[in-house]
Amino acid sequence: MADKILTCKDCNKEFTFTEGEQAFYAEKGFTNEPARCPECRKARKAARRNGEQRNA
């Protein structure tokens, strides 16, 4: 496996999907590549977490 350059669907910035990340995804059985860069994934996760706390 080689590193892959992907484009984030939220910010359109290119990011690297490393060999190690690809191996991790394969080990977990994930079939899709990440659609968001690490920064957007982190922001989305934080927004979900904050939203869940307000609704509880």
Look at residue 1 and tell me whether its pLDDT is greater than 90. Answer: no
pLDDT at 25: 96
pLDDT bracket for residue 54 (50, 70, 90): low
Query: What domain count does the chain have?
Result: 1
pLDDT bracket for residue 50 (50, 70, 90): confident
Residue 26: give the domain boundaries.
4-55
Averaged confidence pLDDT in the chain: 92
Q: Which residue, among 24, 26, 18, 25, has the nearest Cα to 2 in the 3D structure? A: 18
End-to-end CA distance of the chain: 43
Look at residue 55 and tell me whether its pLDDT is greater than 60. Answer: no
Residue carrying structure tokens 């892959």: 4
Tens digits of residue pLDDT in 31-49 = 999 999 999 999 999 999 9
